[in-house]
């Protein structure tokens, strides 16, 4: 089963592909305090809603990059009203395409893997932002030491994530100034995971002839059980804002 297809189906009804409510994202964007008419990049922009919302609030222009062409088409439809202010590229991120200091604001929320590790992403976002600019990175973190069985379900290693404080310190060690951070609340995680699972189940009910249905339903049943047993108390998600000196 194609992982990108599975993820696209699982997120088909999400406004944001991260566990935050619309109200908290709106408040986060307000607190961002971007400069007038900023030039913004969003690496791994998904459906584009985060970038679109930033441009709607702060003006300016933006480039969104995502390797998933389905998401990019959805982003184009969502952001059509922004016209030439919004450029969307269905491609993998290529650092060579962007000189140092090209942007006022750089975003990478829930998609740091598009660049590398969380630290790799912070380093690259800082490179493409001008002095005085803003970096916003969203990443998972361990709320407690993960159970080995939970790691097996995730296909992850214990050192793949830091804790919340470690995510902040990582930016400080790169010379960035922490501005603020928000973390997902349990009810936001519940809503996100519930919609993630029900989207797969609904798709399978609508398309029983699809050759991936049996595997998808088996996978989502195991995922839902793992979330209830371990994920809800083990995995957190934070959105971290740093300033570049």
Q: Has residue 235 been placed in a domain?
A: yes
At residue 118, the pLDDT reads 97
DSSP, residue by residue, 158-177: GGGS--HHHHHHHHHHTTPE
Between CA 244 and CA 124 the distance in angstroms is: 12
Which pTM value belongs to this model?
0.96
Do residues 230 and 147 lie in contact, with contact meaning Cβ atoms separated by under 8 Å? yes
Q: Has residue 195 been placed in a domain?
A: no
Residue 156: what are its φ and ψ, rounded to 5°? -120, 165
The DSSP bridge pattern shows strands 235-243 and 103-109 to be unpaired
Please tell me the total count of domains within the chain. 1
DSSP 146: P
Between CA 50 and CA 63 the distance in angstroms is: 12
Q: Has residue 148 been placed in a domain?
A: yes
**Domain carrying residue 76:** 3-189+224-243
Q: Has residue 208 been placed in a domain?
A: no
Low-confidence ranges of the chain (pLDDT < 50): none
Between CA 137 and CA 161 the distance in angstroms is: 14
Q: Has residue 201 been placed in a domain?
A: no
DSSP, residue by residue, 134-160: EEEEEEEEESSPPPHHHHHHHT--GGG
Between CA 106 and CA 126 the distance in angstroms is: 8
At residue 1, the pLDDT reads 83
Q: What is the CATH number of the domain that holds 100?
A: 3.40.50.150
Residue 175: what are its φ and ψ, rounded to 5°? 85, 15
Q: Has residue 44 been placed in a domain?
A: yes
The DSSP bridge pattern shows strands 177-183 and 129-142 to be unpaired
Between CA 187 and CA 212 the distance in angstroms is: 30
Q: Has residue 213 been placed in a domain?
A: no
């Amino acid at each position: 089963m194609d992982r990108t297809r599975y993820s696209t189906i699982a997120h088909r009804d999400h406004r944001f592909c991260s566990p935050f409510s619309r109200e908290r994202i709106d408040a986060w964007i307000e607190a961002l305090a971007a400069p007038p008419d900023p030039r913004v990049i969003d690496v791994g922009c998904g459906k584009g809603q985060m970038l679109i919302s930033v441009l709607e609030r702060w003006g300016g222009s933006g480039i969104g990059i995502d390797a998933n062409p389905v998401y990019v088409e959805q982003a184009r439809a969502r952001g059509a009203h922004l016209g030439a202010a919004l450029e969307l590229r269905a491609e993998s991120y290529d650092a060579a395409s962007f000189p140092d200091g090209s942007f006022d604001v750089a975003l990478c929320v829930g998609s740091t893997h598009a660049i590398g590790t969380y630290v790799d992403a912070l380093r690259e976002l800082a490179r493409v932002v001008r002095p005085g600019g803003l970096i916003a990175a969203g990443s998972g973190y361990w709320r407690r030491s993960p159970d080995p069985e939970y790691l097996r379900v995730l296909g992850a290693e214990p050192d793949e994530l830091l804790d919340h404080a470690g995510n902040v310190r990582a930016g400080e060690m790169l010379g960035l100034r922490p501005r603020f951070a928000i973390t997902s609340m349990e009810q936001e995680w519940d809503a996100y995971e519930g919609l993630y699972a029900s989207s797969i189940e609904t798709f399978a009910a609508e398309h029983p002839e699809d050759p991936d249905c049996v595997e998808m339903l088996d996978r989502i049943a195991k995922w839902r059980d793992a979330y209830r047993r371990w994920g809800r108390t083990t995995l957190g998600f934070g959105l971290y804002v740093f300033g570049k000196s």
